[in-house]
Amino acid sequence: MLWIFWLVFAYFLGSLPFGLFVAKISCGIDPRQEGSKNTGATNVARLCGFGYGVAALVLDLAKGFIPVIMASSYSQNWLFLSLVTVAAILGHVYSIFLDMKGGKAVATTIGAFLALAPSATIWAVIFCVAVIILSGYVSMGSLTLAVTLPVLCLITANIGAVPVAVFITMLLFWTHRENIKRLARGEEISWKKK
């Protein structure tokens, strides 16, 4: 029963659409209707400004980090922590507050894995940021994070986190499927272009 409580808590927290809240409160815009039509930090930054994008990013990180770090104080069972991680991330992708729609879950994934496998996550974020800077595409950096995360979990001896990292890699590729198509067509939005 306690496992169920933690999974429901993680999913509920993950479902909170902070990007939507920040955009509506700060600049009166619904990010689901503007820009990339996504509630993520990148779209909020484009629509409302860099500072508001950072605020959305921090909140989305927190809603992944908090349930996993709290759950780890209850149990160190890898299956349990993996399920809590998945619940928080799925909450972001399939939010009960957004008619089972949501964001692409990169920030929430980073937050959850910072609690689950911190060293692997920090390195994955470094690779992600490097690719964003070099390529100009946030989506390409996000996909780099997705690919490197399970490998880095393995390299840093976080073996228990590898299966959930592989699952999340597949999920992130699914949530970025439209970005992948735009990248293939050369139509993806670059942060380097005004």
pLDDT of residue 39: 87
> Is 194 domain-assigned?
no
Handedness of CA 47, 48, 50, 56 (dihedral sign): negative
The residue assigned the tokens 């999974």 is 7
Measured CA angle at 152 (ends 175, 105), to 5 deg = 20
Q: What is the mean pLDDT of residues 177-192?
A: 87
Asked if pLDDT for residue 61 goes beyond 80, the answer is: yes
- Of 28-37, 44-53, 83-92, 123-132, which gets the smallest average pLDDT? 28-37
Buried b (16+ CB within 10 A) or exposed e, 40-52: bbbbbbbbbeeeb
> Is 193 domain-assigned?
no
> Is 149 domain-assigned?
yes
Helix (H, G, I), strand (E, B) or coil at 194: coil
> Is 190 domain-assigned?
no
Q: How does pLDDT run across 5-34, given as a tens digit for each residue? A: 999 999 999 999 999 999 999 999 999 998
pLDDT of residue 192: 67
> Is 73 domain-assigned?
yes
Host domain of residue 149? 2-185
Helix (H, G, I), strand (E, B) or coil at 95: strand
Contact 15, 95 (CB under 8 A): yes
pLDDT of residue 193: 61
Contact 118, 157 (CB under 8 A): no
Number of domains within the chain: 1
Contact 168, 124 (CB under 8 A): no
